[in-house]
Amino acid sequence: MGAQIIDGTAIAQAIQEEVAQEVSRLKRDRGLAPGLATVLVGDNPASQTYVRMKQRRCGEVGIHSVGVELPGDASQQQVESRVRELSADPSIHGILVQLPLPGHLDEEGILSAIDLHKDVDGFHPINIGRLAMKGRDPLFAPATPSGIIELLDRIGAEISGKEAVVLGRSNIVGLPVSMLLLKRNATLTICHSRSRDLPLVVKRADILVAAVGRTEMVKGDWIKPGAIVIDVGINQVEDPTRKRGYRLVGDVAYDEAKEVAGWITPVPGGVGPMTIAMLLQNTLTAARRSVEVS
Ligand code: NDP
């Protein structure tokens, strides 16, 4: 029997609709319009595209977005002081500094300038520190890892006590999703480029999260029958039959894996759409908290 497909597009759409309803309720009942500021430094085309997508989706749910653009040679002090101004602006509830920043800037210094309560991307060093500590919770967790947990919850997956294997240990995906799985009481194994015997380790996983950025690295026969497979990878593969000359594939050999797994996310249409949905949800949460505490 083939795996059930986890439809991230539909789940993200449902979250977006829930957020839109809550945003209009907040406007009606409290006169409050949630606001997100995006901070883009330089002219990296991929970053520009991501920021535009985030702003468009904000518009769709009624979140007011403010785009701050700074030149690629902006100084540390210029970027930090702009972020501090946004931190002090009561009409802004969430601040997102688009990463990566140009190489001359100190990322940690800039992320630290974000008001902790507005850190909707969850990358403020204090939020990351709380994510890594037992018994403490961050105010916000990073969006892609939160989206992965949300997918697991929405399919009714039990996480507690399960063997979870995460492939990848990046600050954006692998490490934070590992911490979230641990907080949910999974028994956790984290693998990286120096790990050995990957097929054997992966075979133990009831829940597998693949975030390595290596085209179809995980083969069908690595997977435990019935496992939940979350494929975060987004890799471009040449494909002359497509208008743009390539197609997107994941880190998991999907056609093989879906014959063995119990549940699987497709690429595209799995984890990808969840990232912005979680950002919208976090911005709504930040706005709600701002009226709860005032
Ligand atoms: P990074 O390149 O930052 O990290 C990759 C991780 O994979 C590293 O920890 C690396 O190990 C590990 N790795 C690399 N090769 C191997 C290997 N052969 N065996 C085992 N581990 C390996 O990538 P990201 O975490 O930023 O992204 C991972 C993938 O997820 C990419 O395809 C990216 O495009 C996608 N992505 C998707 C998102 C979405 O859907 N919204 C959001 C963010 C990313 P080491 O630490 O030892 O170098």
Question: How many whole angstroms from 138 Cα to the centroid of ligand 1?
Answer: 23
For residue 292, pLDDT over 90 is answered with no
Q: What DSSP letter does each residue of 79-104 carry, written as one string?
A: HHHHHHHHHH-TT--EEEEPSSPPTT
* Average pLDDT of span 70-82: 98
pLDDT digits (tens, 9 = 90+) for 175-188: 999 999 999 999 99
- For residue 272, which of 149, 98, 144, 99 has the smallest C-alpha distance? 144
Q: For residue 254, how many C-alpha atoms fall within 13 Å in the half-sphere facing its CB? A: 21
Question: How many whole angstroms from 83 Cα to the centroid of ligand 1?
Answer: 28
| CB of residue 271 inside a 6 A radius of ligand 1 | yes
For residue 95, pLDDT over 70 is answered with yes
Give the active site residue among 7, 115, 119, 121.
121
For residue 294, pLDDT over 60 is answered with no
Q: What is the mean pLDDT of the chain?
A: 97
Ligand 1 atom closest to the Cα of residue 213 is 32
Annotation marks residue 98 as catalytic: yes
Ligand 1 atom closest to the Cα of residue 173 is 25
Structural domains of the chain, ranges and CATH numbers in brackets: 30-115 (3.40.50.10860), 143-273 (3.40.50.720)
| CB of residue 273 inside a 6 A radius of ligand 1 | no
Sequence-distant (≥ 6) Cβ neighbours of residue 18 within 8 angstroms: 281
pLDDT bucket at 127, cuts 50 / 70 / 90: very high
Q: Phi, psi at residue 181, to the nearest 5°?
A: -65, -40
pLDDT at 42 (0 to 100): 98
* Average pLDDT of span 236-260: 97
pTM: predicted TM-score of the whole model, two decimal places: 0.97
From residue 210, give the alpha-carbon distance in Å to each of 36, 165, 213, 281. 30, 8, 8, 24
